[in-house]
Amino acid sequence: MVLEVGRICYKSNGRKAGEKAIVINTQENRAEIIYKSGKKEKCSIRHLFPTKEKIDIKNKSVEEIVKIMQKVE
């Protein structure tokens, strides 16, 4: 499964391992993600485990994305 904008994933490594996040931007081997808490972070795509769930986040604010993520659970 490819990491693409809007893909919901789990962080697999690091201190935030196991937390759900959504990809908001990708570059070469890095991705920018937002956690349910609303915190943004850049990380390696090797540290992300994608799920089958994908949402449309175009033209949405961080607050709107966080609300959508909480509904998806």
For 3-15, b/e burial (b = at least 16 CB within 10 A) is: eebbbbbebeeee
What is the structure's pLDDT at 32? 94
Name the stretches of the chain with pLDDT < 50.
Answer: none
Give the DSSP H/E element, type plus range, for residue 63: helix 62-72
What token pair was written down for 15?
A: 């201190």
The position carrying tokens 């769930």 is 53
Q: Does domain 7-72 have CATH number 2.30.30.30?
A: yes
